[in-house]
Amino acid sequence: MAFHRDFYPTSPRTALSDIMELSRLTQAASALSAVLQSRGIRHAFYGSILPALLAKNSCTDEIFCIVESGPNHLHPFRRVRDAVAGLDDFSVTHSPLTNRLHVTYRRPIPAIDIEILPAGETGPKALDSTTVMQVQNVPFLTYSEFIRAKLKTWMIRGSEKDASDIVFVLSHFWDRVDINRIPELDMDTFAGRNSSVVPAWAALRKRYRR
């Protein structure tokens, strides 16, 4: 049973220029994933792209790629830079002042930009079969890990977009969520400010307390 909503999970303040065709983002994610997989780099995609795929929407405005550290604590940024080095379809932009790395997939026009996030800083530290699921043959954080990561960000920023994504995923997929991965106090706070998630959150808690 899903607790349905009538609107797509994205912020009403999203600028039109930031909205991208979902099919193009999925193409970029698949291409980057193939490169990382070929180098044995564990990763998972994250952001509002997941609710968009689940809702079968045509557009979204957010995509990230979470990447694990490598052997001898090799930083995810270094791993990604090495993986795409010399590939015509990709370029990398590193901003040392903000400590951010973006990979640009240049085959589509306009090109698609994907920010790289270190695992553990965003999402779980280990990206394996317990924390990653396949959606359209692309690895994404599981429902539980997606909600956990979005909730952490929402507690800091209070973003309407993050709130909308959490409500959508929990309302539709609460029966696939591991409550042990969800900080209950944080979710109680969230539910207190987002009443539409209360039925799904109550159902999830009831399921685990039987």
Q: Per-residue DSSP letters for 186-203?
A: HHHHHHHH-GGGHHHHHH
pLDDT at residue 162 in the model? 97
Q: Report the 10 Å Cβ neighbour count for 155.
A: 15
For residue 152, the surrounding DSSP H or E stretch is: helix 143-157
- pLDDT tens per residue across span 96-121: 888 999 999 999 888 999 999 999 99
* Domain boundaries defined on the chain: 15-141, 143-210
Q: Point out the residues of the chain with pLDDT beneath 70.
A: 1-19
pLDDT at residue 59 in the model? 85
pLDDT at residue 15 in the model? 33
What's the chain's length in residues?
210
pLDDT at residue 82 in the model? 97
Residue among 123, 126, 148, 127 at smallest CA distance from 139: 127
- pLDDT tens per residue across span 142-169: 999 999 999 999 999 999 999 999 999 9
Cα dihedral value 56, 133, 94, 23, nearest 10:
-20
**Domain 15-141 listed as CATH 3.30.460:** yes
Cα dihedral value 73, 78, 82, 87, nearest 10:
140
pTM, whole model, 2 decimals? 0.89
pLDDT at residue 97 in the model? 86
For residue 114, the surrounding DSSP H or E stretch is: strand 112-118
pLDDT at residue 6 in the model? 38
